Amino acid sequence: MNIVMIDRVRNLRRTVGGRLVQTTADMDRVLAQRRHPVIEPLVADARGGAKGYIEIRTLRDAQLEQRGEGRAGEVDAEADIILAGIHDTCRRYARRLPNSPKGKASKRILRACFRRGLAAVTNIPYEDELVLVEYIHERLTTDLAADAALLGMAPAVEELGEIVPLYRDALSLQEKITAAQVAEAYEAMQVAYFRLAFAVVSMVENAEDRDALLAPIFDQDDRLGAIYAARRAGQTGLSDDIADPDAEADAALQAELDEAEAAREAEQAAGADEVRAEVEGGAPEADQPTVRPIERG
């Protein structure tokens, strides 16, 4: 067996969904003339993995758009406004009157409900925010009820309580597909792809058949190589032969996972400094609610 071919298969790039569907279609045409019963089910598995990944990724993309524009997005925005009002009222009293009864009450609410800052409550996935909204409402109606009343927050607390069932109902209508589920489907596709490629190299003894079955794999790998090389060179306005939206989507998925992890680490670091400044009375005054819009996952 040609060692160059073995190395080529070993160094294949990770594929993308649309290209793997095309690869398996081309391999089916070869198998129609050169029957290999051992390879045929592996081709079907690889195609199934590619289509499964494309489907779940497409559904999640649509879901992200619908969740941002649908009822869950509206209820979340209402909750964010209420939370921002509570947080900013406490922040001002803790900043300007730190030793007064209202200032001390504000510090207790900030410590209990916004320990990592407002963004750590409002800029998180809907399901996670709902849990915190329920927790904050419970605290403000039990052990912190007197503090909330002293600060004139009774109407806001009542409104927050009304939001909770609406929030839960809105989310119950939507079955969320997570980035982790998309990543799992992506990895399953890769496994099926590499299993197929190595099976052709190791199990097809006829050299002509082996070359014919590997040709579609190598062709799509070369095309991906051209895309990545052009991107590294900073080319824009790529032709249809080079531009690959599927490759862009797969790269975006990995970037989303990386950014989510980085955001969590940044929130933990920044939140500790923010609440320390608020509790010590050193936080700068903010004239506007500190809600920052994000793309929800």
pLDDT tens per residue, range 71-105 = 778 888 999 999 999 999 999 999 999 999 999 99
Q: Residue 153: which residues within 8 A CB-CB, separation 6 or more?
A: 86, 89, 140
Against a cut of 0.85, is the pTM above it? no
Longest CA span, the chain: 87
Judge if 199 and 59 occupy the same domain.
Answer: yes
Residue 252 is predicted with a pLDDT of 55
Q: Does one domain contain both 154 and 219?
A: no
Inside any domain, residue 292: no
Position 269 scores a pLDDT of: 53
Question: Is 262 a domain residue?
Answer: no
Domain that holds residue 98: 70-175
pLDDT digit string (tens) for the chain, length 297 residues = 578 888 899 999 999 898 999 999 999 999 999 889 999 999 999 999 999 999 998 888 777 665 555 677 888 899 999 999 999 999 999 999 999 999 999 999 999 999 999 999 999 888 889 999 999 999 999 999 999 999 999 999 999 999 998 888 777 655 567 788 888 999 999 999 999 999 999 999 899 999 999 999 999 999 888 888 887 777 654 444 444 445 555 555 555 555 555 655 555 555 444 444 444 444 433 333 344 344 444
Q: Domain check: are 212 and 142 in the same one?
A: no
Same domain, 150 and 238: no
Q: Which long-range contacts (CB under 8 A, 24 or more apart) does 175-178 make?
A: 176/63, 176/67, 176/127, 177/56, 177/59, 177/60, 177/63, 178/60, 178/297
Say if residue 113 is in the same domain as residue 249.
Answer: no
In a domain, 230, yes or no: yes
C-alpha torsion sign, points 71, 249, 192, 181: negative
Considering the chain, what percentage of its residues have pLDDT values greater than 70? 74
Identify residue 215 by its one-letter amino acid code.
A
Alpha carbon 296 to its chain centroid, in Å, reads 8
- The pLDDT value given to residue 221: 92
Shared-domain flag, residues 97 and 145: yes
Contact between residue 21 and residue 43 where contact means Cβ atoms under 8 Å apart: no
Strands (E), 99-227: none
State which of 138, 153, 175 marks the end of a domain.
175
Same domain, 60 and 190: yes
Would you say residue 284 lies in a domain? no
**Looking at the 3D structure of the chain, how many domains does it have?**
2
Same domain, 45 and 109: no
Please enumerate in sequence order all residues whose Cβ is within 8 A of that of 51, keeping only pairs 6 or more positions apart, or say none. Answer: 17, 21
